[in-house]
Amino acid sequence: MNKKTLQDVELKGKRVIMRVDFNVPVKNGVITDDTRIKGALASINYVLDNGGSLILMSHMGRPDEKGITGDTTMKIVADYLSKMIGKEVKFAEDCGAADEAAAALKPGEILMLENTRYHKEEQAKLKQKDGQSDEEFKAAKAALKDQQKELAKKLASYADIYCNDAFGTAHRAHASTAVITKYMEGPCVAGFLMEKEIAYLGSAVENPVRPFVAILGGAKVSDKLAVVRNLLTKVDTLIIGGGMAYTFLAAQGHKIGNSLCEADQMDYAREMIADAEKRGVKLLLPVDSIEADKFDAEANTKVVGMDIDDGWMGLDIGPETVKLYAEAIKSAKTVVWNGPMGCFEMEKFNKGTFGVCDAVAEVKANGGISIIGGGDSVSAVKKSGQADKMSHISTGGGASLEYLEGKELPGVAALSDK
């Protein structure tokens, strides 16, 4: 990684404004999973231990869509963090009006800003209203972009150094993730969590230890179009499971019953199968499935081969596929996994995902690198109890997916080069 990190800057007597990903699940004012908060502690403690003061900012929930509610205030996280680190975390009720609170910070003190998404200019996301002309919409978008710049300028004015430790939002060019860097007088650096994400995902995609195996699952081919295309230029083996596999099987002429299928992606699936063959990449698809007579935890099920019965749907890979995939995974030195193999949330359809999870867990034990690329894969790994056996579990679903697509992440690109 050629970006500056916290270790590349002098922190003593400096104010650091840090973008963290504290978008944690909250129910009735109570945080139900503090993984993301724990993930930022290394960077937080480093700034404080080295004589800096710290301003933390994050979004939480979707107040832009659902309205501002009690479960989206960062005050909940400020109080939680305060208990976690045994230190007062001050709170600013408006991230866009925290000048005095920021200026008053002494070395070793922390200030948490209110939810950045309480300001619509954070995302500068706008939908055209009914009856609004194209010219009016264009003018409204331009005005909102100007407001975004003003919010970014305000946030930048609070501190000497900017630190981005929120990989989960690095794929968004928001006021607090990328635009702010244009107005910082001091350096813009990566936090330790961001540095770790880029080190693992970057080395996996650009300079993998081979054999390199990628596992892709999830519901739709369309969600992973660019990922498949990019990974076929990188991997030795590409494994496909989940609902997206049935579009590939249908493209090969198999019967898929009522399984998920994107008819408009079948040409693409055939193209990718041909591309894999041309490149000498092993493209593995299910050789059997667990089919169900309905999408329900109590559905009737049976194991079938590559064809699904009429009126039934494939909801998990079958036992022979688990063996096939596990064999390919266990021989790998680098594995990247994004997306479950079936509807693992239901017990009848979790064996495929958990079987793959067991195989991936052995990679690290055998001296290889295993990277779980965010989203449902992380939930599956945690549910299986194998999380501690993985080399790296990404904190960013959308960001890790875009990284695997080969896209530049605005929140990373905006940081200072070494």
Q: Which residues are catalytic?
A: 36, 220, 375, 398
Q: Record the tokens describing residue 278, joined without a space.
A: 């041309």
Identify which of 345, 340, 349 has the alpha carbon closest to the alpha carbon of residue 240: 340
Cα torsion 379, 316, 314, 294: sign: negative
What's the length of the chain? 418
Evaluate whether 321 touches 356 at the Cβ level (below 8 Å). no
Phi, then psi, of 335 in degrees rounded to 5 = -130, 130
Q: What are phi and psi of 367, to 5 degrees?
A: 90, 10
CA nearest neighbour of 391 among 357, 375, 368:
368
* Chain position carrying tokens 């930022």: 40
Please answer whether residues 162 and 55 qualify as being in contact, where contact means their C-beta atoms are separated by less than 8 angstroms: no
The DSSP call for residue 122 is G
Closest to 356 in 3D by CA, of 344, 369, 368: 344
- Nearest-angstrom CA–CA distance, 285 and 62: 36
